[in-house]
Amino acid sequence: MENFVHHIPTKLYFGKGTISHLEESLRPLGQKVLLTYGGGSIKKSGLYDEVIAILQKGGFEVFECAGIEPNPRVESIAKGAELCKKEKVEVILSVGGGSTLDCSKAIAVGAYYVGNDYWQMVLESNEQKKALPIVAVMTMAATGSELDSCGVISNMTLHKKIGRNFTFPTVSICDPCYTFTLPAKQSAAGGADMMSHIMEGYFSRTMDSDLSEAIEEGILKSVIHHLPIVLQDPKNYEARANLFWNSSIACSGMPEYGKLKTGWPCHAMEHELSAFYDITHGVGLAILTPRWLRFILKKDPSITPRLVKFAKNVWGLENQDDTELAKAGIQALFDFFVSVGIPMNLKDLGIDETHFEEMAESCTRPSFSGFVDLSKEDIVHIFKMCL
């Protein structure tokens, strides 16, 4: 096992009715609140009214930063940070999915940033900076942003989407009931995202970190079981709750403890797709991951035992021949994504090979590796496999 650090300072309230902890969570952090949210789903679901009622009853002074985009933009950080500076905001209340919370984390750092070049601020951020405290009410099970310090920010002018460590939420409230209204496409994309967070680490060269391996396989099996249920029955609490907890843990770092770090290559490649084409994160990951695995199996067959374990323990497959079994595991993954309605070719999203060279150039770096290092040519090849 490799050495690791465990540090997650966020207090998490999980389950039905946990919004009852909102007022007591905000109270010690400040009285001037910046409420951040996305394009309006919280208004449709009634959550906005519920939150406003709590804030009014508690006598908080509320400012709003609305319209945060999926794949949040640097312009939204600027808007929120400038508001924080002007109004001397003391605490940020993020209500929404991973995009709203990611943007809120950057705003929290931006509130103390001297100057207004917020893209430069994003590039420089590394969790050491002073930041406003954040309380997060999550409405989507996907990113795990509720339990990490990461934020992924896009600059569509430069075609860049990058993840940085900003700050952990002080408190996260995860009520699975708030995910009942998720459209099927977002539920499926969220499931693919959490599976990818696991698979990026699962396919490392360390196989002896038993607990981590068990967590990884457990989360994958749980998503495979529960995602089809919520697609059939969106208000199924047990399935929604299981997916939510899976998502929180999947990106918390814990499933990778004791394992050799990988460079999360599918995420790096997906961020290029989103930066150029503004696609849904989980959809891009679902398209990339089976192709990436097929590519590695060909390039470095020493991944075979890992894929055999994946096929047996996650998908319950058997075969006398290890290579066949490895391939069958990858195919099962592909078929699962098809079965939950994810478009599995880039062509389906209107993407052709025009920018593949540029995208591959942008995400090829020394730390970018997974089970094997990938050259720029390898990445272009993987993108082409996705067409």
The item of Zn ion, ligand NZQ, none sharing an interface with residue 249, based on CB under 5 to 8 Å by kind, is: none
> Distance from first CA to last CA of the chain, Å, rounded?
38
Q: Which of 94, 170, 172, 179 is in the footprint of ligand NZQ by CB under 6 A?
A: 179
Residue type, 320: Q
Closest to ligand NZQ by CB, 328 or 346: 346
How many Å apart are CA 387 and CA 366, to the nearest integer?
26
Q: Find the shortest distance in angstroms from Cβ 176 to Zn ion.
A: 20
Q: Which of 25, 145, 212, 362 is in the footprint of ligand NZQ by CB under 6 A?
A: 145
Q: Find the shortest distance in angstroms from Cβ 116 to ligand NZQ.
A: 23
Q: Which of 148, 175, 216, 378 is in the footprint of ligand NZQ by CB under 6 A?
A: 148
Q: Which of 19, 33, 35, 96 is in the footprint of ligand NZQ by CB under 6 A?
A: 96
Closest to Zn ion by CB, 41 or 71: 71
User: Cβ neighbours of residue 335 under 8 Å, at least 6 residues apart?
Assistant: none
Q: Find the shortest distance in angstroms from Cβ 267 to Zn ion.
A: 6
Q: What is the 3-state secondary structure (H, E, C) of 245-257?
A: HHHHHHCCCHHHC
CA 256 to chain centre: 15
The item of Zn ion, ligand NZQ, none sharing an interface with residue 67, based on CB under 5 to 8 Å by kind, is: none
Long-range contacts, 330-334 (Cβ 8 Å, 24+): 330/290, 330/293, 330/294, 330/297, 331/290, 333/289, 333/290, 333/293, 334/290
**Residue whose C-alpha is closest to residue 355's, from 338, 323, 374, 379:** 379
Reduce the DSSP state of residue 337 to 3 states and report it. Answer: helix
Q: Which of 10, 155, 181, 236 is in the footprint of ligand NZQ by CB under 6 A?
A: 181
Closest to ligand NZQ by CB, 38 or 265: 38
CA 258 to chain centre: 21
Candidate segments 1-9, 147-155, 336-344, 370-378, binder of ligand NZQ by CB under 6 A: 147-155
Asked whether the beta carbons of 230 and 164 are under 8 A apart, the reply is no
Residue 136 falls in which region: left (phi positive, over 0), alpha (psi -120 to 50) or beta: beta
Q: Which residues bind Zn ion (CB under 5 A)?
A: 193
Size of the site for ligand NZQ (CB under 6 A): 34
> Which x/- pattern, by CB under 6 A, does the window 272-311 give for ligand NZQ?
---------x------------------------------
Residues that bind ligand NZQ (CB under 6 A): 38-42, 45, 70-71, 96-100, 102, 139-140, 142-145, 148, 150-152, 178-179, 181-182, 186, 190, 193, 251, 267, 281
